[in-house]
A and B are shown apart, each in its own frame.
Chain A
Amino acid sequence: MPTDVERWKDEVYGNEIREHLFRFAEEGWDAIPEEEEDAWFERFKWWGLYHQRKGQESYFMMRIGTPNGVLEPGQLRTVAEVADEYARGPVDNPEFGAAYCDWTTRQSIQLHWIKLEDVPDIFEKLEENDLTTQQACGDSWRNIVGCPVAGKDTHEHIDAWPVAEELHETFKGNDAYSNLPRKWKVSVTGCDQGCGQGDINDLAFEPAEKHGELGFNVRVGGGLSRKEPRLARDVDIWVPEEKATDIAAAVTELFNDHGDRDNRYNARIKFLVDEWGADKVRRVLQEDYTDWDLESAGDDLRDQYTYNAGGHEHGDHVGVHEQPDGNYYVGLNVLVGRQGVEDVYELADLADEYGSGEVRLTQRQNVIVTDIPEEDLDDFLAADLLEDYSPDPHPFMRGSIACTGTEFCSLSIVETKNRQVRYARWLKENVDVPDGVTDFHIHLSGCTASCAQPQIADISLRGMKTRKDGEPVEALDVGLGGGLGENPHFAEWVEMRVPADEVPGYIQNLLATYEDERQNDETFRDFIQRQEEDALQELADPEETDYDDPYMHNTKMTWYPYADDDDMDASPAPTNGEGEPISADD
């Protein structure tokens, strides 16, 4: 029996959703028949609009897909202007103000509190500046990720940016690929450091050499969601650069035909690869989906991968780095990936003044300003904005990543972004950084969807509940020792259901143990991997400290966790195009 979602997609999906979206925008929020709301919300995702959660009816999150995280000159200002004009809700966020932009772990942009009535004007403004929300969500080719400094990296073997661009041009808006069984995440890596994070994508292109020619090895079936993390499997295929689009089409068609449309929880291609094995995936690709002889895998560069590999080499792109053309790129740390809109304007100004105007987004929720001439570097680094978005941040500020959480997301179990801000500040003030550690990843995801990529962090935090003093409170499961590199490893889940206000104390105790018991300059990841399973549990205990957590109550059941009166009944939603509450009698 087809799922509701498949049935809804059969009726209307893909590009044609736009005309309906615009019709509803013209007629207003309450023109959507109540019994059709969930069907339309599912479809709107294809155009980058996620309806926000219960209590925030009529408001949407809007995702703008920026392939490889590249914002061409002028585009960041456009994003800031859209956020400034349209992404303002009924209540300010206490940390970030009234309007802000989120940079995501898939190098995209998310804005909140978008009203349906404003969507045509927003699309017009974005599209005038070659930005789009098309296929940013939904069951289709999502935003293509990759090395965020592709084309500007001294570690590069292949410039992955033109490859990502061609994939984007081919598969965005293409009706043949517009209705897949589930989301489809693709990564292109061109450097020898592994910054594309191909291991956690449905389809990954990784640099490899064959017959003296550089091309890509293909991996299939990675992903982190639903407590079923998988590393992308090696399907023993190498393609030259000019064949990347063809093999991508072939793998997508295979997924389209064989992905599970009867069960959305089994639909991602990682489960098909589990069932078939890599050999069968390759055989079926050869027999049914390609008209050329597939080459076996070439020599890859994985033994050189340093990105998020647990060492001290290259956990992100923060800092000052020389480009091959002699200019510099500067990676700036954005705590939990969120910037107030005034800061985004200022960032756009700085990029214009000192660089080419281009800004890039990383899979660590950070930003990179590129193309800064050496003679301007000191002036750029002296800019006031860099006091808050540092190229040389404290390790606990640098490594803190968080998903959207219960602030807006229906799936999340706990509040995340503001909590992670508070964690990072407390850790910075109260915890000694172990000697030699410059980059320490703490990723907080509100649920098992794993949008903050917790399984590949030094410390993985995942939303949960527990009881404390007889009351249900927000809690986190804690995992340790995850990361990528040549031998990627998912975090071991060590402490379950830790009350959220005891997590900073746990991290403090854990890092003290690490400092005491590490061997020589052993990295945290190596230290964790050296432990026996039982010993992991004994490394540290959760503990209350003077850390204060204002979000221990059930934030999922508030209308907005930071409102003075956060009770669901106090919500002004739904509202009309002017943001005025629509009464139930209307």
Chain B
Amino acid sequence: MATRLRLLDDAAWVSVNDERAVGTSEVWPVAESFCSCSLAWLVVEAFVDVGADGRRVEARPHGHCLNCGESGTAPWLPVGKVTDDGFELVEGVRR
């Protein structure tokens, strides 16, 4: 079954199957890919895009690192995965 993905509320939320799953204002630990910090603490200010790789839902968040202040749009990062029981959010370090 197809998974419905979209950005809502001026890109403040990622919606998965018509549920607001992930919102801005979260602080994500991100390994290596965002700035020069080995572990970035990324404040998500907006989402630029959302997509899926198989059952894995990914998004490109825009924000900045709380450690170094670097601002920009991150590469595709996992948001969660669609399971037979619904949608499961990713926890912990994102890479």
Residues of B within 8 A of A497 (CB): 43, 66
Contact with A along B7-22 (1 / 0, CB 8 A): 0111111010010100
Q: Is B66's CB under 8 angstroms from A466's CB?
A: yes
Q: Is A38's CB under 8 angstroms from B15's CB?
A: yes
Residues of B within 8 A of A4 (CB): 6
CA distance A467 to B10 in the complex (A): 25
| CB-CB under 8 A for A410 and B8, given A38-B15, A54-B13, A466-B66 | yes
Partner of B12, one of A411, A465, A466: A411
Binds A, one of B23-31, B53-61, B77-85: B23-31
B95 at the interface (CB under 8 A from A): no
A413 at the interface (CB under 8 A from B): yes
Residues of B within 8 A of A464 (CB): 43
| CB-CB under 8 A for A556 and B4, given A411-B10, A464-B43, A467-B66 | no
Q: Is A38's CB under 8 angstroms from B23's CB?
A: no
In the complex formed, the residue of A with least CB distance to B24 is A413
Contact with B along A454-465 (1 / 0, CB 8 A): 000000000111
CA distance A346 to B17 in the complex (A): 47
CB distance from B19 to the nearest CB of A (A): 9
CA distance A449 to B66 in the complex (A): 21
Partner of A447, one of B8, B12, B15: B12
Residues of A within 8 A of B12 (CB): 410-411, 447
Residues of B within 8 A of A467 (CB): 27, 41, 66
A34 at the interface (CB under 8 A from B): yes
Q: Is A411's CB under 8 angstroms from B9's CB?
A: yes
CA distance A497 to B42 in the complex (A): 12
| CB-CB under 8 A for A38 and B25, given A54-B13, A411-B12 | no
Q: Is B23's CB under 8 angstroms from A557's CB?
A: yes
CB distance from B34 to the nearest CB of A (A): 15
Partner of B25, one of A34, A35, A554: A554
CB distance from A465 to the nearest CB of B (A): 5
Residues of A within 8 A of B15 (CB): 38
Residues of B within 8 A of A35 (CB): 4, 18
Residues of A within 8 A of B41 (CB): 467
Most buried by B among A265, A413, A463: A413
Q: Is B43's CB under 8 angstroms from A410's CB?
A: no
Q: Is B25's CB under 8 angstroms from A556's CB?
A: yes
A414 at the interface (CB under 8 A from B): yes
In the complex formed, the residue of A with least CB distance to B69 is A496
Q: Is A37's CB under 8 angstroms from B18's CB?
A: yes
CA distance A4 to B7 in the complex (A): 9
CA distance A264 to B13 in the complex (A): 15
Residues of A within 8 A of B70 (CB): none
A179 at the interface (CB under 8 A from B): no
- Residues of B29-60 at the interface with A, using a CB-CB cut-off of 8 Å, are 41, 43, 45-46
A134 at the interface (CB under 8 A from B): no
Interface size bracket, B side:
20 to 34
CA distance A139 to B16 in the complex (A): 25
CB distance from A369 to the nearest CB of B (A): 36
| CB-CB under 8 A for A38 and B27, given A448-B45, A466-B66 | no
- Residues of A339-355 at the interface with B, using a CB-CB cut-off of 8 Å, are none
A472 at the interface (CB under 8 A from B): yes
CA distance A171 to B45 in the complex (A): 35
Residues of A within 8 A of B4 (CB): 35
CB distance from A366 to the nearest CB of B (A): 27
Residues of B within 8 A of A411 (CB): 9-10, 12, 24
Residues of B within 8 A of A449 (CB): 10
Residues of A within 8 A of B45 (CB): 413, 448
| CB-CB under 8 A for A413 and B6, given A38-B15, A497-B66 | no
Q: Is B23's CB under 8 angstroms from A556's CB?
A: yes
- Residues of A429-463 at the interface with B, using a CB-CB cut-off of 8 Å, are 447-449, 463
Q: Is A410's CB under 8 angstroms from B11's CB?
A: no
Contact with B along A545-561 (1 / 0, CB 8 A): 00000000010110000
Residues of A within 8 A of B43 (CB): 464-466, 497
Residues of A within 8 A of B26 (CB): 465, 472, 554
Q: Is B27's CB under 8 angstroms from A472's CB?
A: yes
| CB-CB under 8 A for A410 and B25, given A35-B4, A496-B69, A497-B66 | no
CB distance from B50 to the nearest CB of A (A): 11
Partner of A414, one of B10, B11, B18, B25: B25
Q: Is A34's CB under 8 angstroms from B10's CB?
A: no
Residues of A within 8 A of B8 (CB): 38, 410
Contact with B along A208-251 (1 / 0, CB 8 A): 00000000000000000000000000000000000000000000
CA distance A497 to B43 in the complex (A): 10
CA distance A34 to B41 in the complex (A): 34
Residues of B within 8 A of A554 (CB): 25-26
Most buried by A among B15, B25, B45, B66: B25
CB distance from A199 to the nearest CB of B (A): 23
| CB-CB under 8 A for A465 and B6, given A37-B18, A410-B12 | no
CA distance A413 to B10 in the complex (A): 13
New contact pairs (13) apart from A4-B6, A466-B43, CB-CB < 8 Å: A54-B20, A265-B10, A410-B12, A410-B20, A410-B23, A411-B9, A447-B24, A496-B69, A497-B43, A497-B66, A554-B25, A554-B26, A557-B23
Which residues from chain B sit less than 8 Å from chain A, CB to CB?
4, 6, 8-13, 15, 18, 20, 23-27, 41, 43, 45-46, 66, 69
- 13 residue pairs A–B, Cβ–Cβ below 8 Å: A35-B18, A38-B8, A38-B15, A54-B13, A265-B11, A410-B9, A410-B20, A411-B9, A413-B25, A413-B45, A465-B26, A497-B43, A557-B23
Give the 10 A-B CB pairs with smallest separation, nearest first.
A410-B9, A413-B25, A472-B27, A465-B43, A54-B20, A411-B12, A556-B25, A35-B18, A467-B66, A4-B6
